[in-house]
Homo-oligomer: A and B are copies of this chain.
């Protein structure tokens, strides 16, 4: 399945990104760049209260405003909406409520209660302010951690606020192990709510052609085919009458895989409007209502023997679903528990995961949605090391899997193979010079400076883990000129998929990269597919392209053999030119000449070779999961007076198999790592006790910038997967490993002060608080 067998001119190289010329010159096409004739604009009226009964909505004044076309409320849009499950989840998965507009009750600040449609956005916003909603405030369930015990319910039909619970064997089964164990360590770490915050907010344009019953949607999405299927079900029209187009999407990170309630409103309204309807989320709306992630905590326990060997581990995990999660958070909860053992020898264990409604913005997927498994395990390992008086690195060395032990399975039965945790761990430590850092740390402490080092090693399942993700199609069309168009389902949302596809196709066919173009992200153009998500694009696309291009190469060689009058086995086809083996000096055939035969000299085709040069193929992975792994190591200095955390070095050793493009791999690692750093130190979608969001601008919601992030140093270990090209996928990894490494580094820095980190993010005031708390605790203890 290696793409070319010796003709790799682009794969594996730092090929320049083909999307950059348009993106860097400001000529990308984001959804807000779409203009349609007579297009109308939507603005939502959103709840100012975390929970309230809606007694009435008066839209009369808004309708008076010049340019207002319509004001929709729940009774307009909600009745009769069809099944709303996501293909990603499968139709049998339990789902959560998802009314397009709030009905009798609003359930978080930002909950859409009405949608104004006007000739421009300014008028729509003005009109939205004229919509009068009569609210009767109700006591909100703000804190998910206490929601299960609350007398109030987010959804009346779920009185206990429990979305669902999943887990392994009963916790009590493990009690004998913990009771017998020489050492037991446990901790509970609360992770704050934060989210993907892509550069491009959400946005959608929907245009319904009533005459033909056809819906066209331009969307900021990671999965145009999922949007299409969803819209078809929502409106009760056939999916082949829905066309979803994405061109450039300015980041998704999981949030843009699935349509949300605002998208539903726009789709439903567009079906009744005479022109296209556009809604572009502004940043405040985004921070209010686009969703949150990572809001969870877990009580993690570990039993160890006297040598630091892990005997068992358990995780009791609870996550915040918000009021309207998208999708059901069940999947990330399973993954948190299933992956909790990570790349360690842990003979026994179990997990429980609960998902809890609250009157806050709904949970969305976010790059490595199961990231908490690493956070829980890796911070617990550091705590255990301190408790046992071992260096955290030493504790890990004693328990970490290395290649020689493969294949194996973790205690949840997840089968690991083709991974290299030990190798990335050692590579990262070598890159740092761990011993030297420890010496420097000692010297610094002597000067009253608090340096720390943290690590995180994880394994990640990538391509093909769900039925939705298990196949990927490619259509390759070699045009009569010999130029190539290639079509895959997804589209580039910052992950360089265009470049990946063009690279793979050029090498798979053996042509120059400038001779290959791709059209992606248009359901009318591309084969059905899941799009970007779960780090699947690289390996799955590679499989689809390799198979399809292979079919075309056979036809190319057959045509060339026929024309050159040699057996097919005697034909070489390299870099767009065919010749008889061993006779490269002789006149061969260019791909343009071969294509000319295929299209215009069809009488000259060999028997059995069809006219034209187009093929469609679909790869389906025989592997339930492909595994990637990495180790993050970082060092920091903490100012214990101001609480400022300054990262000093940041190292990632990653095994994503062979690299299709090292620059793209690094870009994925850098981006994910920076998001994890933000999650550990800065980003917080915070609510006050009444459920009012207090970080709805970038003045309050703090993102890491270039000044906060050190150079990220990348090492690479290459363990090919059994999948196409040996590729593994690299989209999410950076975001999984980074936050735990940073937290461990800060904890390590502050260990001499007895600081215990129980809550994120590690903002200056939070750090100062932990230091104060440790001092108080120690004073009390003394």
Is A690's beta carbon under 8 Å from chain B?
A: no
**CA–CA, A481 and B523, complex, Å:** 14
Binds B, one of A416-424, A453-461, A595-603: A595-603
Chain B residues within 8 Å of A192, by CB? none
Is A610's beta carbon under 8 Å from chain B?
A: yes
Is A695's beta carbon under 8 Å from chain B?
A: no
- Contact: B471 with A602, CB < 8 Å? yes
**CA–CA, A553 and B33, complex, Å:** 41
Contact of A528 among B27, B209, B480, B602 (CB under 8 A): B480
Chain B residues within 8 Å of A21, by CB? 211-213
Chain B residues within 8 Å of A35, by CB? 35-37
- Contact: B618 with A610, CB < 8 Å? yes
Binary B-proximity of A444-478 (CB < 8 A = 1, otherwise 0): 00000000000000000000000110110101010
Chain B residues within 8 Å of A599, by CB? 467, 471, 528
- Contact: A516 with B483, CB < 8 Å? no
Is A649's beta carbon under 8 Å from chain B?
A: no
- Which residues in window 45-90 of A have CB below 8 A to B? 87, 90
- Contact: A87 with B524, CB < 8 Å? no
- Contact: B480 with A614, CB < 8 Å? no
Is A479's beta carbon under 8 Å from chain B?
A: yes
- Which residues in window 589-637 of A have CB below 8 A to B? 599-602, 605, 610-612, 614-620
**CA–CA, A234 and B528, complex, Å:** 35
Contact of A210 among B27, B238, B243 (CB under 8 A): B27
Is A568's beta carbon under 8 Å from chain B?
A: no
Is A112's beta carbon under 8 Å from chain B?
A: no
Contact of A618 among B468, B528, B611 (CB under 8 A): B611
Is A564's beta carbon under 8 Å from chain B?
A: no
Binary B-proximity of A510-529 (CB < 8 A = 1, otherwise 0): 00001111010010110110
Is A117's beta carbon under 8 Å from chain B?
A: no
Which B-chain residue is minimally distant from A605 (CB atoms)? B620
- Contact: A614 with B610, CB < 8 Å? no
Is A272's beta carbon under 8 Å from chain B?
A: no
- Contact: B27 with A485, CB < 8 Å? no
- Contact: B481 with A232, CB < 8 Å? yes
- Contact: B483 with A239, CB < 8 Å? yes
**CA–CA, A98 and B524, complex, Å:** 36
Tally of chain A residues near chain B (CB < 8 A): 64
**CA–CA, A563 and B211, complex, Å:** 39
Chain B residues within 8 Å of A209, by CB? 22, 27
- Contact: A467 with B601, CB < 8 Å? yes
Is A241's beta carbon under 8 Å from chain B?
A: yes
- Contact: A471 with B27, CB < 8 Å? no
- Contact: B517 with A481, CB < 8 Å? no
**CA–CA, A688 and B455, complex, Å:** 91
Which B-chain residue is minimally distant from A467 (CB atoms)? B600
Chain B residues within 8 Å of A87, by CB? 480
**CA–CA, A342 and B455, complex, Å:** 88
Is A484's beta carbon under 8 Å from chain B?
A: yes
A257 CB → nearest B CB, Å = 16
Is A180's beta carbon under 8 Å from chain B?
A: no
Which B-chain residue is minimally distant from A274 (CB atoms)? B27
Contact of A525 among B214, B240, B483, B524 (CB under 8 A): B524
A50 CB → nearest B CB, Å = 39
Which B-chain residue is minimally distant from A36 (CB atoms)? B35
Chain B residues within 8 Å of A653, by CB? none
- Contact: B479 with A528, CB < 8 Å? yes
- Which residues in window 472-517 of A have CB below 8 A to B? 473, 475, 477, 479-481, 483-485, 514-517
A705 CB → nearest B CB, Å = 26
**CA–CA, A525 and B517, complex, Å:** 13
Contact of A483 among B37, B240, B475 (CB under 8 A): B240
**CA–CA, A252 and B634, complex, Å:** 68
Is A25's beta carbon under 8 Å from chain B?
A: yes
**CA–CA, A516 and B212, complex, Å:** 12
**CA–CA, A162 and B614, complex, Å:** 42
Chain B residues within 8 Å of A475, by CB? 475, 614, 616
Binary B-proximity of A530-551 (CB < 8 A = 1, otherwise 0): 0000000000000000000000
| Given A209-B27, A210-B27, A239:B481 Cβ within 8 A | yes
- Contact: A527 with B612, CB < 8 Å? yes
- Contact: B240 with A480, CB < 8 Å? no
| Known A25-B210, A232-B481, A471-B612; 15 more pairs at CB < 8 Å | A22-B212, A25-B211, A87-B480, A90-B600, A239-B479, A240-B485, A243-B519, A467-B602, A470-B600, A477-B527, A528-B614, A611-B619, A614-B616, A615-B616, A616-B616
| 10 tightest Cβ-Cβ pairs between the two chains A and B | A612-B618, A611-B620, A240-B483, A22-B211, A467-B600, A602-B620, A21-B211, A25-B211, A240-B517, A471-B611
